[in-house]
């Protein structure tokens, strides 16, 4: 398996623009997680899905953020409109169902977002 | 609420010396504990985990961690550090059926 795939790897956009980040989890994994990493706040869980259903989105910072998982092999995280403070590295991770949310998570390489 | 503390932002160690990266946790019930490593411009990679059983857990790249329930600690160790071990290390915990909570990370620098 190729592991968790994220695209794009780098995104530079201007304030006010819509940004869409994409993730393909490892095949057969039932859980998908979106994280944000910044120097100030460290690694923050934004939202996670189980079998394509959002379970906990309490980490989503504002209504400007939304996430979807239309099928088992694809998820998007959208920011609209984007702001400079959204600049961060966004990670997607997936895990198997054996131990549920406590199972080992496999992380993608991340998307480095810069909002000017 | 559960939490994970990594008291050291930075750990420096000479190559060949033993290394320890500290982690303490606060979890209600039985803890599930993890260590991850992040190399520059990469995602987090799983190193090892404690679910139940032996308090000494062995993981990838020669790392191990010891679960200490009385001290609520899960320190990461390696007998002999390599320059290539230099990276950012994250401890994480869960109480089961809850998402992992990550510490802020400890930057390990191994000096040749």
Q: What are the pLDDT digits (tens) for B11-55?
A: 999 999 999 999 999 988 889 999 999 998 889 999 999 988 889
Task: Tell me if A109 and B43 make a contact (CB, 8 A cut-off).
Answer: yes
pLDDT value of position A103:
77
Residue B69 backbone phi and psi in degrees, to 5: -70, -40
Q: Which residues of A touch B36 (CB under 8 A)?
A: 107
Task: Tell me if B90 and A107 make a contact (CB, 8 A cut-off).
Answer: no
The minimal CB distance from A43 to the residues B45, B97, B102 is found for B102
pLDDT value of position B52:
83
The mean per-residue pLDDT over the stretch A88-99 comes to: 86
Scan for tokens 């996670």, then name that residue: A48
What length is written for chain A?
Answer: 116
Task: Tell me if B99 and A4 make a contact (CB, 8 A cut-off).
Answer: no
In three-state secondary structure terms, B60 is helix
pLDDT value of position A101:
60
pLDDT value of position A59:
92
The minimal CB distance from A102 to the residues B32, B36, B44 is found for B32
Assigned token pair, A113: 């977002």
Q: What are the pLDDT digits (tens) for A32-87?
A: 999 999 988 889 999 999 999 999 999 998 899 999 999 999 999 999 999 999 99
pLDDT value of position A99:
61
User: Which of A56, A99, A102 is the best residue to mutate to test the B interface, defined by the most B CB atoms within 10 Å of its own CB?
Assistant: A102
Q: Kindly tell me if the per-residue pLDDT of A20 is higher than 90.
A: yes
The minimal CB distance from B99 to the residues A4, A56, A110 is found for A56
Q: What is the CA radius of gyration of chain A?
A: 13
- Say whether residue B45 is in contact with chain A using an 8 A CB cutoff: yes
What is the overall mean pLDDT for chain A? 93
Burial grade of A75 (CB within 10 A; 0-12, 13-18, 19 or more) = buried
């Amino acid at each position: 398996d190729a592991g968790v795939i994220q695209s794009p790897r780098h995104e530079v956009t201007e304030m006010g623009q819509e940004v869409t980040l994409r993730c393909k989890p490892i095949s057969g994994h039932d859980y998908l997680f979106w994280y944000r990493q910044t120097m100030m706040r460290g690694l923050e869980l934004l939202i996670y899905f189980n079998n394509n259903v959002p379970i906990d989105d309490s980490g989503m910072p504002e209504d400007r953020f939304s996430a979807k998982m239309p099928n088992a092999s694809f998820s998007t995280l959208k920011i609209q409109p984007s702001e400079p403070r959204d600049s961060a590295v966004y990670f997607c991770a997936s895990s198997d169902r054996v131990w549920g949310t406590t199972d080992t998570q496999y992380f993608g390489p991340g998307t480095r977002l810069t909002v000017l | 609420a559960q939490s994970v503390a990594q008291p050291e932002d930075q750990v420096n160690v000479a190559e060949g010396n033993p290394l320890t990266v500290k982690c303490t946790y606060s979890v209600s019930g039985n803890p599930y504990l993890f260590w991850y490593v992040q190399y520059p411009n990469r995602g987090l990679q799983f190193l090892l985990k404690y679910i139940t059983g032996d308090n000494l857990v062995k993981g990838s790249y020669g790392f191990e961690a010891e679960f200490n329930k009385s001290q609520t600690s899960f320190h990461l160790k390696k007998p002999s550090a390599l320059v290539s071990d230099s990276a950012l290390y994250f401890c994480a915990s869960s109480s089961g059926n809850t998402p992992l909570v990550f510490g802020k990370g400890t930057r390990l620098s191994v000096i040749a």
